[in-house]
Amino acid sequence: MMSHVVDFAHGLRANLMDHMAEFAASTELGFDRPSMRFPPTSWTSYCVERSTLGMGVHCPFDTDELVVASEPLFSAAECCAIKEEAATLIAEGRGSTFTMTDTNKDCAVHEMPRTLRWLNEGALARITSLAATCFPSAVSDPTQLWVYRGLVIKYDASAGLTHQPVHRDGALISCVVPLSERAEYAGGGTYIEQLGRALVLEQGQALLHPSSVRHSGHRITSGERWVLVLFLNSVAMPYGEHVRRFRARAQEAFAECQGLEEADAEMGDGAAEEVEDGQGEVDEADEADEGIDDVEDEELQCLHHALAVSGESDHEVWYDLGARAHELGDVAEALRCYERATALCPTDALLLGNMGVALLELSRPRDALRCYRRALAVDKYDINARFNAGELMLSTGRLRGLAAVLASAPEVTMRDEGMQMLAEELAKATQHQKKGAKKNKKRGKGKPS
């Protein structure tokens, strides 16, 4: 159970304590801080507006050149050695459960002794030196960076393990190093939402960016793609990092609330039986309801704390507030929050899809359909937005529109049960429409008198 945040100051202290605990855990996992600084290597930078990081005026990065692709930092032999050690562990069934394991496989670096030793003996210093050179306002000294988590991720097209969805990482700086040769797979790379495209690097290059840059593991269409991923934090936690930590606390509160509701439902059934027997076990049920209310207040409190630190600039916090209101049945408030979020980030497919649902519930089907289409323009693989758009067209008799939604769907999305149902309903409706047309043709329209 999470430690409850009483007020803003208490929350700040709790966030700093979590940061210190993660720092201590990094050492326990076997990660050493780098003790040297390498001379800068050459790199290419890409601009992403730092306002999109959601840290407001407290953003530790003072430039928009936030995505950096280095020249090769590591040799082919080094990359192959990491991949071979990870492949052995994955074959044994080892995994970190740290990523979306239904779309890729991974293993933790701290469970890879040879790779961990390689990092500690100088490889990490090459990465942190690059980070300090490229982001001097956030990293004044490369020896102050430490590894929060390290993973080796495997994407395998033949197994359907092709990608990761758009997300932010839970650290200060993220680093991705391709371990596979470029010829070993098609597609792939790191998709940067603000750039609207994927950056595909050669083996041994390093891609660095603030962890709060929204990105994804872009889909591969064939072959295998292996990458080393490191999440880096600094010894002193920048103030802007409180945004993500407050948001993480809100998510913990939400998970706790879900657990309490399930327990309350079970206890409620038992309490009803007790009342029938004259036992009157109502007090326990009342206490459970109060506990749920407390945790819901905790979630809302943390989100407002995050909003305050960010200067209301983090669209994901607005989205969370909208989702919470939506969950509680206040659709008008949910839509208000979603609109604030889309004003800050108009390319979040998940947000646009939920906004469409809210609009439909408020009897605005045209606007809802517009949101679903915007979501699909961002992510054609978004099954929820595609299904919702198709279902809306089916319910309003727009069969041509439904056919277009299904025809433009990637093959993998049509394996979804809901999408298959829509295809079946379209076939039935089209057949019914054809039969009606034949009957009208036989009867004739007649001549006006």
DSSP state letters, 90-137: HHTT-----S-TTT-EEEEGGG-HHHHHHIIIIIHHHHHHHHHHH-TT
Question: Among residues 301, 299, 306, which one has the least CA distance to residue 253?
Answer: 299
Q: What is the pLDDT of residue 275?
A: 47
Q: Are 325 and 356 in contact (CB under 8 A)?
A: no
Interval 90-114 mean pLDDT: 83
pLDDT at 262 over 70: no
Pairwise CA distance, residues 111 & 101, whole Å: 17
Q: What percent of the chain has a predicted confidence (pLDDT) above 90?
A: 80
Report domain extents, the chain.
Answer: 34-234
Q: Phi then psi for 377, rounded to 5 degrees?
A: -65, -30
pLDDT over threshold 70, residue 146: yes
pLDDT average, residue stretch 201-228: 98
In whole numbers, what is the pLDDT of the chain averaged over residues? 90
Q: Are 37 and 144 in contact (CB under 8 A)?
A: no
pLDDT of residue 284: 53
* C-beta separation of 315 from 54 below 8 A: yes
The stretch 384-397 carries a mean pLDDT of 97
Q: What is the pLDDT of residue 277?
A: 54
- Cβ proximity of 336 and 362 under 8 Å: no
Mean pLDDT of the 81-89 span: 97
Helix (H, G, I), strand (E, B) or coil at 332: helix
* Token representation of residue 373: 């289409």
Spatial separation of the C-alpha atoms in residues 291 and 260, rounded to whole Å: 8
Judge whether 220 and 163 are in contact, CB under 8 Å.
yes
Cα distances (Å, whole numbers) of residue 416 to 184, 352, 413, 419, 425:
29, 20, 6, 5, 14
What average pLDDT does the segment 347-373 reach? 98
Model confidence at 266: pLDDT above 90: no
Query: Vertex 189, ends 170 and 414: CA angle to 5°?
Result: 95
pLDDT reported for residue 446: 42
Band (441; pLDDT cuts 50, 70, 90): low
Q: What is the mean pLDDT of residues 91-114?
A: 83
Whether 278 has a pLDDT exceeding 80, the answer reads no
- 434 falls in which pLDDT band (50, 70, 90)? confident
Looking at residue 297, what is its pLDDT?
A: 86
Residue 192 pLDDT exceeds 60: yes
Is 299's pLDDT higher than 70? yes
Mean pLDDT (whole number) for 152-171: 96
**Under CATH, what is the fold of the domain 34-234?**
Jelly Rolls (2.60.120)
Q: Kindly tell me if the per-residue pLDDT of 55 is higher than 80.
A: yes
pLDDT classification of 93: cutoffs 50, 70, 90 = confident
pLDDT at 255: 85
pLDDT above 80: residue 296: no
H helix or E strand, kind and range, residue 331: helix 331-344
What is the arithmetic mean of pLDDT over 37-46?
A: 92
The pLDDT assigned to 162 comes to 95
* Confidence band of 210 (pLDDT split at 50, 70, 90): very high
